[in-house]
A and B are shown apart, each in its own frame.
Chain A
Amino acid sequence: MELTTWIQEHEAEAQKLLIAELKEETRAAFAPEAVAQAWKRIKFTTEVSPNLIAKAVQDGKDAGFYKGSTDTSKLVETP
């Protein structure tokens, strides 16, 4: 949670670290403007949305990946 908050509050520094690490890991160079643009499409949050989980379960069933029980009552655990 603390790291997510730091990322939200230090966008420029976070993006700089991210670009450098992506280069290390993939050899792909990402322009800062492109990453800044992509950043806007993402919401950093520690929340686990029940709606997102329900949609993902339905998608998995529709796509044929989940067969049998799809009980998620024990899925989320807060340390």
Chain B
Amino acid sequence: MKIKTLVAVIGALAIFLQTGGAEEKTVIRFGHFPNITHAQGVIAHALTRQGKGWFEERLGPNVEIQWFTYNAGPSAMEAIFAGSLDLTYVGQGPALNAHFKSNGEEIRVISGAANAGAALVVKVDSAIKTPADFRGKKIATPQLGNTQDISCRAWLKAQGFNVTQTGGDVIVVPTNNPDQLALFQSGGVDAVWTVEPWVTRLS
């Protein structure tokens, strides 16, 4: 019996309990992204992999933790709505979007996990010196509708730019975090708005 879907802002510790028979194992499906801002999930996943599970040790032998990784929030929230994930570390943007889409009924934040860690990166020798210089440029974000993507689009709008999902004064190019470096180095994008450790990898 599924009780409720629980989500957290930029990561979270979540407990979703499912009761079963005495012999039946309870499976809890956790999501997280390979980001430092999801350190709790990444580290707990590592400990599960080593057979020293953080949550397993605290929840007992009748609980099995399964881990699933996502590039960014919208994909994780799709998994939540599809019933293939019980809880996830996620940024505030997709968590709010899912909360609103379910009219406040399906999604709950049960804990914070991390603040900050995102940045807009341009090259040192870039022609971009002021916000106005972004006109006609391309900015990569992890995924359409993820937290950095929403922040980026809101910031561009505040600078007076018209930005649509596929075009406008500045082109926002959704790009998976691991793929951003090559695109940035090749000049395929002029800037990247993402999160750690991918920010440092670009620096």
Instruction: Please list the residues of chain A having a beta carbon within 8 angstroms of any beta carbon in chain B.
Output: 1-4, 7, 14, 17-18, 20-22, 24-28, 30, 34-35, 37-39, 41-49, 52-53, 56-60, 62-66, 68-79
Bound form: Cα–Cα A65–B141 in Å: 15
How many inter-chain residue pairs (CB < 8 Å) link A and B?
Answer: 175
Task: Determine if A38 and B200 form an interchain contact, defined as CB atoms under 8 angstroms apart.
Answer: yes
Distance (Å) between the CB of B48 and the closest chain A CB?
10
Say yes or no for B26: interface residue by CB 8 A criterion. no
Say yes or no for B75: interface residue by CB 8 A criterion. no
Instruction: Please list the residues of chain B having a beta carbon within 8 angstroms of any beta carbon in chain A.
Output: 6, 9, 12-15, 34, 36-37, 39-40, 42-47, 49, 54, 58, 69, 92-93, 95-97, 99-100, 103-104, 107-117, 119, 145, 147, 149-151, 153-154, 157-158, 177-178, 196-197, 199-201
Task: Determine if B111 and A46 form an interchain contact, defined as CB atoms under 8 angstroms apart.
Answer: yes
Task: Determine if B13 and A1 form an interchain contact, defined as CB atoms under 8 angstroms apart.
Answer: yes
- Say whether, besides A7-B39, A21-B46, A63-B153, A47 and B99 are in contact (CB < 8 Å): no
Task: Determine if B113 and A4 form an interchain contact, defined as CB atoms under 8 angstroms apart.
Answer: yes
- Say whether, besides A7-B40, A52-B92, A44 and B113 are in contact (CB < 8 Å): yes
Bound form: Cα–Cα A70–B95 in Å: 12
Task: Determine if A65 and B45 form an interchain contact, defined as CB atoms under 8 angstroms apart.
Answer: no
Identify the closest chain A residue to B97 (Cβ): A65
- Say whether, besides A46-B111, A77-B108, A38 and B46 are in contact (CB < 8 Å): no
